[in-house]
Amino acid sequence: MPTISKVLIANRGEIALRVILACKELGLKTVAVHSEADRDALHVRYADDDVCIGPAASRQSYLNISSIIAAAEITGADAIHPGYGFLAENAHFAEIAGECGLTFIGPTPESIRLMGNKAVARDTAKKAGVPILPGSDGPVRTFEEARDVAQTIGFPVILKASAGGGGRGMRICNDETSLQSAFDTARNEAERAFGSADVYIEKYLEHPRHIEIQVFGDTHGRIVHLGERECSIQRRHQKLLEESPSPVLTQELRQAMGEAAIKLCQAVDYVNAGTIEFLFQDGQFYFMEMNTRIQVEHAVTEEVTGMDLVKEQIRVASGLPLTMPQHELRLRGHAIEFRINAEDPVTFAPNPGKIREFHIPGGPGVRVDTAAYRDYVIPPHYDSLIAKLIVRGKDRSEALARGRRALEQFIIEGVKTSIPLHRAIVNNDRFIRGEFSTRFMEEFEWGREG
């Protein structure tokens, strides 16, 4: 059983700070790594040790595996938490960490590799008996192959990068005419973004909901699910807010999706935190992909289950069993997370710069995860997420009321943020009724509504 005493966090921003806080509660020392652009970041200030690992550019700092491993060695760290993004789903990084005697706080390199390729993950899900959408058996490498599959399953179809995520390498085609250009574009984009041009095809659902199941496995063979998160409010496949439980799932559907998620985890001997993502339409759910890491929206699950997922990650990586068996896990109340980004709320263009005023909301059922502060300068080199506002209520109605109140109290001046957009969403009648799909933002057009 590995003994963890000092954790290096191979990340930045609010997730790095979140991991540091969990480590402090467990009595563990921490190491912050940072780029030259992040010298004044809060995660650097709060960690026990810190090491500058390179210039501002991610490839020379937060994606620089050798520099991160060297930082662990010189500070005496014995474990690495990758957070989310950057190297979190990099099997090579997890492998090297293990070879250097470091405990990787996440799944095994084998699981990351297997589930990281979305075409392979789809095939694994199919073999495990998890529902999947009609589509290609693996990547399609020529237009002719793509056309044959599309004709077999029927239009519309969606092309997806096998190694991708975040909407890159993804194209929707309504007919054969659009398929040729979409196929070439998706492959080129996938090659640039992920180093692999492989794409696969699935039947495209026109008004699905995006619902994901939080899963957790330990080294003792136990795997549990912690309910679902509704992630349908998104723009260009980027999530804007998440909530749990979903407004549309019955207990029977929740159980069926949870059992399917566990079945897939068992098929790959999954350990630590992960998320199984499904599309849901007309009462049916279909496997979409698996994320082999902690998610940005993990706080939503924490609020309705009472479990600290980051501390649980560290416990599991230490060889300890999960703290809760499946029959003790219950969803209590309702939670919503708003991703507060430094970007124009209408055009979504990033808006880095200096925060002149920063006041976070408080009161019952309100939580803010952030590494921002007054006079902090948001660098232009990284993701635009600067805070996560999480609200909880006894039911969805109370959570929404608290969300409205907290969004009004949240003051950030000096940069544009997504707060005005979130205020508009929580006051939208369709959202309030829970009647939405992943196309909500296309139909909302809030910028033109004022």
Q: Which of 391, 387, 388, 337 is nearest to 366 (CA)?
A: 391
Q: What does the alpha-carbon distance between residue 277 and residue 215 come to, in Å, rounded to a whole number? A: 11
Structure tokens at 277: 């993502």
- Check the CA dihedral 4-112-234-431 and report its sign: negative
Give, in order, the Cα–Cα distances in Å from 400 to each of 13, 225, 279, 364. 27, 25, 24, 13
Distance CA 212, CA 193 (A): 24
Q: Map tokens 């139909």 to a residue.
A: 443
Q: Which of 409, 421, 56 is nearest to 238 (CA)?
A: 421
Q: Pick the closest to residue 336 from 380, 292, 395 (CA basis).
A: 395
β partners of residue 212: 229, 277
Phi, psi (5° rounding) for residue 287? -60, 135
Strand-pair partners of 158 = 172, 202
For the question of residue 293 being annotated catalytic, the response is yes
Strand partners, 388: 339, 369
Query: Which residue among 171, 293, 367, 402 is the active-site one?
Result: 293
Catalytic residue positions?
293
